[in-house]
Structure 1
Amino acid sequence: MSARLTGKRIIITGAVGNIGKEAVRSFVAEGARVVIGDRDAAAGEAVAREFGDGVRFIRTDVAEEASVRSLVEEGAAWLGGLDVLVQNAGVQYSGAIADFETAHWDLLFTVNVRAHFFGAKYAIPHLRRAGGGSIINTSSLAGKRGGPGLAAYSASKGAVIAFTTALALELASDNIRVNAICPGWVNTAFNRPAIDFMGGASAQEAKVASFVPLGRQARSEEIAPMFVYLASDESTYMTAQAIGIDGGAYNS
């Protein structure tokens, strides 16, 4: 690694799952110090131990404003400031809208959308004090292009893209960049609800092979480098973007 993030102070939510954990691994390898927030205390503590003294875990429920505020305030205090906020926590529910549970709709928008507002709200003052920085939101290919059974999830991830682009314009004069990463199909347990809706793993894999030009799902380690790029000073002229990492699926 080239230590592209030396001195960077990063807070990330949703850091115990596949993509989030790979992002933390990459941040640490590139020289950053990282605070991770997640509901799963045991898994979060394990990730922090795995990556060493430069990583701290703070139990966080992104559905609760006070919990997100505590993550940002305690995290920034431990880091000595804040340069990058990564909002990666999310949930997935799939199903036909006529049969979709209202509680699942509400949870999608609570975790996938409202939590992004909380994180940004409390991180912005710290980023301003640092003279600028980067907010990285995790959206999805589904936020750009939906499909059967994905209407609710797509709506929540589309809202993340709209929030990202508008916030980027709002914060440009503060030298705070805001971008969204939009993964396509990634081989993680996160996609289990969609896989079940599509008829199981075999059916889902066949479907992915049929419409993804590269003919396969992504691996988490193929998504993590974009988090590093957006956290680094290499991307200081990039803002208001929804960046697809989808094997060409959006254009297929």
Structure 2
Amino acid sequence: MTKTTAGLLTGRRVVLTGAAANIGAAIADRFGEEGASIVIGDIDTGAQGTVDRLRDQGVQALFVRTDVSDAASMENLFHEAASFLGGIDVIVNNAGVQRSAPITELAESDWDLHMAVNAKSCFLAAKYGIPFLRNSPGDKSIVNMASAGGIKAPPGLTGYSASKGAIIAFTKTLAGELGHEGVRVNCVAPGWIDTSFNDPVVAHMGGRDAQAKSIEASVPLRRQGTPDEVAEAFLFLASNASTFVTGQTLIVDGGSS
């Protein structure tokens, strides 16, 4: 990764949740390449490794250990971020969990976990982050991580799908609420992406061979996407390349939907 001197996010101050690995780490790297300063909130201390990599490339970055399902922890994240960055221009809600089971076998605790980490975290980020966005002098953007599963998902993903569908609805409604203040709110909905995050549903499907057959049958491009490809969608929605785009769900799924 090489930090550019005049990228799409030069001078932009970003709060990003969930960036220890996979798509979140790819978003952090891509935003850093485009000139952003980044504060990462994650319960996984492995996110410090992402921050260290960014700093090695000359990116201003900070890790704040954060439970995205907890109000006090999220409020602290935004206060720490605003202090470190001097303000906040962009919020990216990427943190998420996935559990897979038939509905009659899905634990109530797993249902609650989906809602708390995936959906509630977007609410908490808006609640505590918007006051800082209002002070941003330029384009103000929130980008949420939804999923193609929020529109249609394989069997066994009812809890996950419900939480991601909630994010899609939340995004559209919040965009209408904040538009008059110049705050844009969008979400990205990936389909099959080649990361370990999908291991629970792959196991539920019967393993990698079953997954490969499903992708062959249902994805017109006949492959999984990569974290870097999803990161490009987040970059578009967070940057001045999309200043007249709000309330949208950008589906990145190889055409399967």
TM-score tier after normalising by the smaller chain length = over 0.9
User: Would you say 1:242 and 2:249 are equivalent positions?
Assistant: yes
How many Å separate the matches in 2 of 1:243 and 1:3? Answer: 22
1:115 aligns with 2:118: no
- For residues 12-91 of structure 1, the aligned pairs below 5 Å read 12-41=16-45, 43-52=46-55, 53-91=59-97
Q: Could you tell me whether the CA contact under 8 Å between 2:21 and 2:47 is conserved in 1?
A: no
Aligned length: 249
Offset at residue 152 of structure 1 (A): 1.5
Calculate the TM-score normalised by the size of structure 1: 0.96
One-letter amino acid matched to 2:17: T
Counterpart code for 1:143: G
How many angstroms apart in 1 are the aligned matches of 2:65 and 2:102? 33
Matched, 1:227 2:230: no
In the alignment, which residue of structure 2 is the partner of 1:9?
13
Q: Distance in 2 between matches of 1:161 and 1:139?
A: 6
- CA deviations on 1:27-50 (whole Å, 9 max, x unpaired) are 110011000011112x11111111
Report the Cα offset of residue 21 of structure 1. Answer: 0.5
Q: Which moved more, 1:165-174 or 1:197-206?
A: 197-206
AA of the residue aligned to 1:29: E
For 1:183 and 1:146, the matched residues in 2 are separated by 11
Deviations 1:73-126 (A, max 9, x none): 101110000000000000001111011111100000000111111001011111
Task: Please give the alpha-carbon distance, in whole angstroms, between the structure 1 residues aligned to 2:168 and 2:235.
Answer: 19
In 1, Cα distance between equivalents of 2:235 and 2:155: 32
Q: Tell me which of 176, 180, 191 is aligned to 1:184.
A: 191
Displacement after TM superposition at 1:147 (Å) = 2.5
SS, match of residue 129 in structure 1: coil
3-state SS of 2:193 partner: coil
TM-score by length of 2: 0.95
Point out the more displaced range, 95-104 or 156-165: 95-104
Secondary structure at the aligned position of 2:104 is classed as helix
Name structure 1 gaps, 5 residues minimum: none
CA distance in structure 2 between the partners assigned to 1:95 and 1:218 by the alignment: 24
In structure 2, what residue type is equivalent to 1:62? V
**Whole-angstrom CA distance in 2 between matches of 1:40 and 1:115:** 15
Q: Displacement, 1:146?
A: 2.3
CA displacement 1:155-184 (0-9 Å, x = unmatched) = 110000000000000000010000010000
What is aligned with 2:155? 148
